Amino acid sequence: MRQQAWQGLKWWVSGGVLLALAGAVGLARQSLDEQRALFETDARIVHRLLSQQVVQHDAILATLALLQPAPLDSPTTSPEQRLPALYPQILAVQRRDPDQAWPDAQLTRAEAASHVQRRAALGATNLANGRYQLVLSATPTSYALDLDMRAMVPWTEWPMEPQSSPVRVVLEQAGERYVIQPGAQASQTGWHWEARKPLASESQSFDVVSTLTVGPGQLPWTRMLAWALIVAALLTALRHLQRQRAARRRAEELLRLGQVARLNTLGELAAGMAHELNQPLTAVLANTQAAQRLLDDEPPELATARGAMAQAVAQARRAAEVVGRLRRAVERPDASGSLQAVNLNEAVKRALYLLEPECQRRGVTPVLDGADAVTVQADAVALDQIVHNLIFNALQALEQVPPAQRSLTLTLGAHDGRGELLVADSGPGIAPEVLPRLFEPFFSTRDGGLGLGLSLCETLANGMGGSLGAANRALGGAVFSLKLPLSTGDRS
Ligand code: ADP
């Protein structure tokens, strides 16, 4: 029984752990999904902002190429020289007029590439320092921009806090990179996400790489813990409710078994008996007293005395009939019960379930042994009563030995067309002088015992064509055996 309770508790605990884990995993997933969605949105915004910037450079070069170049020796500043003041990322603007050459070979090569590709081309590029050159070949004058990536980032529209955000943003090209936002250093464990996309300008197609690593520390532990606590509280409340319901069911079953009802019936029978016997016994007394007086007369009135004695005999017979009727009622309370195929194992399990608290109170763990399915021909209610009484008697006997020595074994079997249940305990056993009187009505060695249990059980067993026996075990303790005819389907 205790093992069963422990098993039950194990189910509850493992169910609770599973539920708590499933919920926590769900919460973690949801949080990760949210963080990822936020990261992807930020990465998209970053890419758009930087693309907008670099596209401007193409537009500026194209505009310069379209404009009539101012002569180099013009007293006014040529318009391109005013560009750095307007665009902080433009460090300098260089130009090559038709009869001139670029100051370095890289610009010459870039211009040639630009000429072939019919768009601006990259000149000297130093991503580590965030510098690069953009050259556009045009006629008559070609232009080159010296650009600073640091000043290119539109911080006012930036979607993140550059110093504290965990997202790392870099511009990459051919293994070189310029770090725009440092972010958190990628840790070993956790979830790593990366968004990589080239800038939307063919001439400056640097990759914008945004990365984010979310470590275990960033999971929603408080919410996960709260969920686990809610699950634990809910399951505890549910278990409590279930136990309460089980206790109520058990009490109802006990009532059904008729423990209480039988005692009430006994009381009613006693009251009825007193009432029914009172009248004939009074008549017997009156008639015998009258006969006594008549016989004492001189001369004695024999004829009248004889009549009075005949009356007394008749009344005494009536009293005997009342007692006989009562005995029949007590001895065959279930004579009306119909016999049917009843699973003996189930009856034992039902009784063990009902007596579970009694077993626990005495620290007894019943062991169910033997055949798995024995089906007997019995009245279900009567069978329940017998099994219940035998186990309860055994538990009472076990109270007389120390807890460590208490054992109760229920063995089921089938022999010679009969199903058998053995209820063996390790109690004090049955004294030799008690053994022959065990099944007598009103015989009890217990204080306050009625002495009706075993006699009723024997009557019920006999009524179903079975028998009840008792013996002492060789190793100490008593064993009661209930034998009942096997149900027709079970006979071998
Ligand atoms: P009650 O339980 O009211 O005494 P029972 O008819 O059930 O009436 O039992 C009659 C007597 O049989 C008990 O008083 C007890 O002496 C004896 N008895 C019954 N079961 C056992 C048992 N398992 N071990 C020892 N004695 C038992």
pLDDT of residue 328: 66
Q: Single out the residue of 451, 480, 486, 452 nearest to residue 468, CA to CA.
A: 480
466 Cβ inside 6 Å of ligand 1: no
Buried b (16+ CB within 10 A) or exposed e, 443-469: beeeeeeebbbbbbbbbbbebbebebe
Question: In whole angstroms, what is the distance from residue 466 CA to residue 176 CA?
Answer: 97
Residue to mutate (ligand 1; options 395, 454, 458; most atoms within 8 A of CB): 454
Q: How many residues does the chain have?
A: 492
How far does residue 451's CA lie from ligand 1's centre (Å)? 7
Ligand 1, atom 20, residue with closest C-alpha: 393
Residue nearest to atom 8 of ligand 1 (CA): 451
Q: pLDDT digit string (tens) for 221-259?
A: 999 999 999 999 999 999 999 989 999 998 888 877 765
- 478 CA → ligand 1 middle, Å: 10
pLDDT in tens, 83-119: 898 899 999 999 999 889 999 999 999 999 999 999 9
Whether CATH 3.40.50.300 fits 337-490: no
3-state DSSP call for residue 45?
helix
421 lines ligand 1 (CB under 6 A): no
Amino acid in position 8? G
Nearest atom within ligand 1 for CA of residue 455: 6
The pLDDT value recorded for residue 335 is 45
Percentage of the residues of the chain whose pLDDT score is greater than 90? 61
Would the CA dihedral through 103, 105, 106, 109 be positive or negative?
positive
How far apart, in whole angstroms, are the C-alpha atoms of residue 419 and residue 484? 5
Which residues of the chain, if any, have pLDDT below 70?
1-5, 68-77, 185-187, 258-269, 271-273, 275-276, 325-337, 489-492
Looking at residue 450, the DSSP 8-state letter turns out to be -
Edge-to-edge strands of the sheet including 176-181?
A: 176-181, 168-173, 207-214, 191-198
Burial letters 303-313, b for 16+ CB under 10 A, else e: eebeebbebbe
Percentage, residues of the chain above pLDDT 70: 89
Q: What is the C-alpha to C-alpha distance for residues 50 and 46, in angstroms, rounded to an integer?
A: 6
CATH of span 246-332:
1.10.287.130
What is the dihedral sign for C-alpha 290, 291, 294, 295? negative
Tokens encoding 58:
């193409």
Q: What is the pTM of this model?
A: 0.54
Per-residue pLDDT, 325: 65
Give the number of other Cβ atoms within 10 Å of residue 141's Cβ.
21
The Cα–Cα gap between 184 and 165 comes to: 7
Strand-pair category, 131-136 with 142-148? antiparallel
Please name which of 377, 380, 305 lies closest in space to residue 337, comparing C-alpha atoms: 380
Contacts of 227 (CB under 8 A, 6+ apart): 20, 23, 24, 27
Give pLDDT, residue 204.
94
C-alpha distance from residue 352 to each of 243, 252, 480 (Å): 16, 15, 16
pLDDT, tens only, 179-215: 999 987 666 788 999 999 999 999 998 999 999 999 8
Q: Which atom of ligand 1 is nearest to the CA of 480?
A: 23
Token digits for 166? 């965990």
Helix boundaries (H) for 67-176: 83-86, 105-117
Q: By 3-state DSSP, what share of the chain in percent is helix, strand and coil, each rounded to 5?
A: 55, 20, 25
- Cβ(289) – ligand 1 distance below 6 Å: no
Evaluate: CB of 444 within 6 angstroms of ligand 1: yes
Residues 213/166, Cβ–Cβ less than 8 Å: yes
Mutation choice for ligand 1 from 446, 447, 450, 459, CB with most ligand atoms inside 8 A = 446
450 lines ligand 1 (CB under 6 A): yes
Given the structure tokens 């009969």, which residue do they identify?
418
Q: 478, 424 in Cβ contact below 8 A? A: yes
Domain segments of the chain: what residues? Answer: 16-68+78-218, 246-332, 337-490
